[in-house]
A and B are shown apart, each in its own frame.
Chain A
Amino acid sequence: MLQMFIAQTKAESLRIIRSPFFLLFSIAMPLGFYFLFTSLNGADKSIQSTTWGVFSLMSMTAFSLIGTAVSQFGIRLSFEHQDGWVRLLRLTPLTPAVWLGSKLVAQMVIQLIVISVIFLSAGLVHDIQLSGGQWISCGLWLWMGSLPFLALGALLGTLKNANTAIAIGNILQMGLAIMGGLWMPLSTLPQWMQSIGEWLPSHRYANGAWNMVAGNTPASMDFMILIGCGLGCMVLSVYIFNRREAV
């Protein structure tokens, strides 16, 4: 059982790392936008009681992790259903729990790698004013905070048509990022976008990290919206999966 779990986790991790979409959308694009924003605005220019170099680092890491969860987990799930891969696995002794569990573990390992790569790149290029404790706590917050987005990915993975999943996934990722204030700070957006944005899990996700770089703790609303969104997506996707099994 353990051997099966390890082999499956290894295979799932390899599949993500070797995906060209992963390199492009989870690493290259967020890093590219990060350096674009910091050079446009000036990495040392202050914003929301910190600097653009730090503010945008948290937003773009959040943007990358949301994208990784939505596409590498969600869209992949939908494809594996459509291609009959899931049906094939159901004929083997691999249990659904081990399968999904190893996918989650693989995904979390990858998320940790993404955080390390983006933090390290930013730290090497810019002079980031963060204490060791802040680096670690922000990394941990972003890491654990990606779980609700994996649940969102699972919900997306219940879609039967993988092309629909891609379309919705892209809209979700971009919509959540822009409306959540990850690209431009929420305060610079029109009022109607702000009033929607502050309720989005993506905004709460980045907001927790912004609070920490400012020396505070994440707001209780950050926790509530992220946990609520995660649980909601999880319950809904489990319900849809089970209902489909019963047919």
Chain B
Amino acid sequence: MTKAIECINLVKQFGDFRAVDQINLQFEQGRISALLGPNGAGKTTTISMMLGMMRPTSGEVRVLGLPSGTKELRQRVGALMQDVRAADGLTVREVLQLFRSYYRNPMSLERLFDISGLHADAKRRASALSGGQRRRLAFAQSLAGNPELIVLDEPTVGMDVEARGRFWETIRALASDGRTVLLTTHYLEEADAVADHIAVIANGCVVAEGAPERLKAQAALRTVSFRSANAPKEHEWLQLPGVEKAECYGDRIRLHAHETDQLLFTLMQSNWGVTDIDVQSASLEDAFRSLTDTNRSTLTKNSLS
């Protein structure tokens, strides 16, 4: 079966800044996938290249087996981008009808109204809608062509908890028709709630990938934090058993490790003057933050090798 989306050594360079750095990704058809990462990780840039709105500096994107940006794909792919204002002067119904006219095999107007929940607002001007309503209209516009593949860039930004729950239900219903959904988010909670497959990106690179359960297991590190009166060089912490990552805040050290029993034993036996030890299981959000965070002074095994 052809992949829904395939990125091969994808790179996007803006001047000196490399927004996307050698990304290799594959998303299966008929599933909900999430591209998870903090703001500025390169999610929107990656999506833009998938949709053919931006040309890769090097590498390749194939969507539904075709090169991205081809005319045929625009018939089969629906996309919701961030920050698009509605056309002035048209009513909600007129906007939806207009978008339906672009496609060979449009979704029924009735279903678009059901999905957007804008039945009562059909005759209102699109520009007079509230922010949340406008977002739902934009979502319905992206579905006007009855797409096989739906790409959503930060779809739930600005939604309250209830609206978000309803939105996830809609996404699941759309996927159960056999459609492929790819969404970007910076909330693990969201990716975990809807996606079958998650790819985590940070600084333009894929840092982890897999089913939510696998990722959660992989990311479930414990942290050991303590003071050290006589600390060794920073990278020596990474030589300790099981340590994946070390953070130093003055004399306060925090180590992330899969297994802490052996580590504690080593610390107690050392001559580093270790005091004030605190062991914690990291929360999932913390684990992901530590996975994607590169602004703080941190050392990981990957960055050394």
Contact = CB atoms under 8 A, between A and B. Distances in A.
Interface stretch (B76-84, B162-170, B283-291): B76-84
A168 B90 CA distance: 27
A87 B101 CA distance: 18
Interface in A1-28: 3-4, 7-8, 11, 14-16, 18-19
Interface of A: 3-4, 7-8, 11, 14-16, 18-19, 80, 83-85, 87-88, 90-95
B97 interface: yes
A19 B90 CA distance: 10
B84 A8 contact: no
A16 B77 CA distance: 30
B45 to A, nearest CB: 14
Nearest to B100: A7
Leading 4 A-B pairs by shortest Cβ distance:
A15-B89, A7-B101, A83-B85, A18-B89
Contacts of A83: 84-85
A87 B53 contact: yes
B173 interface: no
A88 B101 contact: no
Q: Size class of B's contact patch? A: 20 to 34
Nearest to A98: B102
30 contacts: A3-B101, A4-B101, A8-B98, A11-B90, A11-B94, A14-B89, A14-B94, A15-B89, A16-B89, A18-B89, A19-B88, A19-B89, A80-B87, A83-B84, A83-B85, A85-B84, A85-B85, A85-B87, A87-B53, A87-B81, A88-B141, A91-B51, A91-B77, A92-B74, A92-B103, A93-B71, A93-B74, A93-B75, A93-B103, A95-B71
A84 B84 contact: yes
A94 B85 CA distance: 18
A45 B141 CA distance: 57
Interface in B77-132: 77, 79, 81, 83-85, 87-90, 94, 97-99, 101-103
A24 B87 CA distance: 20
* Central interface residue in B90, B102, B145, by most chain A CB within 10 Å: B102
A95 to B, nearest CB: 8
A95 B102 CA distance: 9
A7 B98 contact: yes
Contact of B84 (A4, A87, A93, A95): A87
Nearest to A3: B101
B98 A91 contact: no
A70 B77 CA distance: 35
B100 to A, nearest CB: 8
Contact of B102 (A15, A16, A94): A94
A16 to B, nearest CB: 8
Contacts of A11: 87, 90, 94, 98
Nearest to B99: A92
A6 to B, nearest CB: 8
Nearest to B142: A91
Contacts of B51: 91
Contacts of A92: 74, 99, 102-103, 145
A95 B98 CA distance: 14
A84 B83 contact: yes
Contacts of B74: 91-93
Given A4-B102, A8-B98, A11-B94, A91 B79 contact: yes
Contacts of B87: 11, 15, 80, 85
Given A11-B87, A87-B81, A92-B102, 12 more contacts: A8-B98, A11-B94, A14-B90, A15-B90, A84-B81, A84-B85, A87-B53, A88-B81, A88-B141, A91-B51, A93-B71, A93-B103
Interface in B130-157: 141-142, 145
B97 A91 contact: no
A88 to B, nearest CB: 5
